[in-house]
Amino acid sequence: MTETAFKMKLKPGCRDEYIRRHNEIWPELKLLLKETGIKDYSIYLDEETNILFAVQKVEGNASSQELGNNPVVKKWWKFMADIMETNPDFSPVSVPLLNVFHID
């Protein structure tokens, strides 16, 4: 199992809406993530900077960042585009993070 981390940016004033949408995550998206091998996925918000920090544990070689061709993911990206910084294809602007320390 591998672990990946990345950051994204929430638009100002969108905290509650972001949380609401994720509390109501679409069942088909949740199933897709599980079928892709994503077993543990958390997103944290730094409320001072609106930076979202995501961590996911993945069995296999895929990650949520590699599902951009899936119609469900494209639909989710478009749904979230009004509250996040996005690329022209509506994918969230996402920056991979380097793991510099880990302890079990």
Q: Which residues are catalytic?
A: 22
Provide the token pair at 77: 């990206």
The CA-atom distances, in angstroms, between 59 and each of 19, 22, 36, 64, 73 are: 26, 22, 8, 12, 19
State the sign of the Cα–Cα–Cα–Cα dihedral 11, 17, 22, 25. negative
